[in-house]
Structure 1
């Protein structure tokens, strides 16, 4: 009798346990499914999510840009989980990326500026890696939550894709996001000498910039074609080169600035222009370093460094080092037809008054 009672109790416990287990599993699966896609409809328009390798560096970069209101490190666009945390994410099996939520004041800084700063410091050609960090959690990505941000993100991504033979950055809507542990938040503020895969010089650079690329967006292809005459179009859009000594600005030294003929983005100042025997306009440096994008150029059997404009992706020319005629050894050799000159006297009336300080 006791033996039968014992068997009955065990079977009862197994049945109860099995039912409980089944219910828990069902609840867990339902919870996982529910968490796979969150509702971000209440998220403000002035928020973007950036995955760019270790979130400590991306967070610090964004914090350095005037106009950024708030940042938060977290994990985004992984498999459903109500408890995404560092130990799980670093397993490499969840698909979550170390991501920074960035809230900004659009009156002070554009989304264009934030995205182009992001692209300036990452390598967009590799998957699951940035710097020395490897793993799925370091996959690059830009995640948006509204149509306005989507338009800007896709426009900037199209420019960046055009600059690179390979493009590995995810461009997607935000599916889910979980804040990281407290010790990850403001990590480099709390640990100034802590690990950062972004050079400190670049982070510092973005804290001082005056030119907002959002003011100089690249027009549509047909607009560019209609706007430019044959030679400027060939040079900026088809990587052409004009003849030396037979171009507009090679021997001009009037006070003023030189802007991208396509977008109007300020690129060079007459203060940094020097006399060169090359036959093209020569500058020691751009007004702001991030306004110029450098690319390896192996065309025509040569190994050179091409320079292009940041917002418009216009072909400008090449940059050379160890130039004996340059005051600092650097020569930005630029096609005149890729530039428009704004005389000092007209800078304010043409909307460039904020750069008059260059001539103080």
Structure 2
């Protein structure tokens, strides 16, 4: 990771402002030595799994977005020493890992294996992105023969699909004792979002993951990788209850929470779906209710994903908004009660003249190829 006293490849990353932030991170890392257990009590019926994918800040952040995950702890494993800490874990043969607690009724071990492959660089055995050394190399730790077989099966399938330009070399290893990392490293992406985002982008991780997510989607793989935070079974919203604040803060990124719960606005052009041209539907990131179709999406030039109409008008609600001392109409989701964006009267005239200007942070895109598997099969009529 940037700012750590480990061997690493800086290359083009060495710029003044970046180094300044890196020094701050190093100082904070050095001041925290004690191992820390985050949310250590697990619910009855849950299971745990251990994965390595380079910088555990990033691996933890990505796993926490998945449905069925109740806890993710950054730590160390795979080595020959006891009670490793940040200063000595590499010398003890450990890797940076995360321990994932999941509900097998909501997700599967296979889904977790798919996820670590897609959200790391599984083709690099010498480290991960700018972080070099075996301590940063990707790995899947299995607890029994069934998990071992699942891991190899997924690897073979991904290699056959040629998602990556090189063969997958992620290690598949017997599970060993897990040692939680220091408190400073837990929820780093939430507690230090600016530094975290600089690291993730500058290291090349963000662009690499995005590129291969797109390739995987096009080839119809990793179908259950990301689901809404609290989607009801069979999309039945009759008795739907929005998750409490503490759950949303855990499951959403800081930006997603700010936008959906505090009426924030993401940056134009620098967001996930503004330039997305793939066919599919856009659902509420929290509830999963269907909001918009790619068939109604157009380039408004504003930098935010824009639509001419919702799929179901009853799934959006309109409210007066005078936040910027001007009369605007806010758009919210009906069941998730998420702030989505605003509606304006400058849309294409031949399509009703409306522009639903949305925030990507409030939406979750479901590719057409994945709609059936993710419970949205009845909306495939939109693309006939």
Q: Fold-level match, TM-score > 0.5?
A: no
The structure with more helix, counted as a fraction of residues: 1
User: For this structure pair, what is the TM-score category when the shorter chain's length is used for normalisation?
Assistant: 0.3 to 0.5
With structure 1 as the length reference, what TM-score do the two structures score?
0.44
- Choose 1 or 2 for highest CA Rg: 1
With structure 2 as the length reference, what TM-score do the two structures score?
0.42
